[in-house]
Amino acid sequence: MFEEKPEREKADMYQKGMSLKDSVDKLRELLKDYSNENPLIIKSKDGEEARLGRSSIGKLVSNAAVQKSMDNGFTREQHYAAASDIDNLFKNSVKVSSRPDKSGDRNITIHRFVAPLFGDNVAYITVKGSVQHGKRIYSTELMEIKRLGGILEEAQDKSSTHFPTPSQETSA
CA 34 to chain centre: 19
pTM, full prediction: 0.83
Would you list the domain boundaries of the chain? 7-157
Q: Which long-range contacts (CB under 8 A, 24 or more apart) does 100-103 make?
A: none
The secondary element (H helix, E strand) that includes residue 125 is: strand 121-130
Highest mean pLDDT among 18-22, 99-103, 115-119: 18-22
How far is the C-alpha of 67 from the C-alpha of 52, rounded, in Å?
Answer: 22
Q: For residue 74, give the amino acid letter.
A: F
Residue 169 has pLDDT above 80, yes or no: no
Question: What pLDDT does residue 150 have?
Answer: 62
Question: What pLDDT does residue 34 have?
Answer: 92
Q: Band of the pLDDT at 163, cuts 50, 70, 90?
A: low
pLDDT tens per residue across span 1-54 = 234 445 788 889 999 999 999 999 999 999 999 988 899 999 999 999 999 999
Mean pLDDT of 84-103: 93
How far is the C-alpha of 13 from the C-alpha of 84, rounded, in Å?
Answer: 10
Residue 104 has pLDDT above 90, yes or no: no
Mean pLDDT of 136-159: 76
Mean pLDDT (the chain, rounded): 86
Question: What pLDDT does residue 123 have?
Answer: 96
